[in-house]
Amino acid sequence: MVGFHPEATIDYHEKRRGPRYPFIASAELIEVRADVRIASRVSELSMNGCYLDMMNPFPTGTLVLVKISAGEAFFEARSKIVYSQMNMGAGVGFLEVKPDSQAVLERWTRLRRNG
């Protein structure tokens, strides 16, 4: 995939950069190089990442495409697994979000923040 860089070239700050909000939605993770897909569920969401519930998460450092859908809204971002917990899930940091997905993310977090 054009513009998808090897793990070694991307520096992601492991510390959270903003508050997380409870958020339930369907998600799919795609490890692009091997075209491996994992269905998942979002349990927390922030402007910079999310937590995904799944039994067999990708290892820490894996670059993935995250697709999240809630109702009629859809979000996707090139992302990185920042931590992985077997039989629990994974913390995902968003690396590249297109403007249309950014607008969806802002709306979802604003709704959670306000209410």
Would you state the torsion angle of the CA atoms of residues 21, 40, 56, 48, taken in this order, to the nearest 10 degrees? -40
User: Which fold, 21-114?
Assistant: Thrombin, subunit H (2.40.10)
pLDDT digits (tens, 9 = 90+) for 36-74: 999 999 999 999 999 999 999 999 999 999 999 999 999
Q: How confident is the model at residue 17 (pLDDT cuts 50, 70, 90)?
A: low
The pTM assigned to this predicted structure is 0.83
Average pLDDT along the chain:
87
Return the pLDDT at 61. 95
Closest CA to 82 of 35, 109, 56, 49: 49
Domain locations along the chain: 21-114
What is the CB neighbour count within 10 angstroms for residue 42?
23
Return the pLDDT at 23. 95
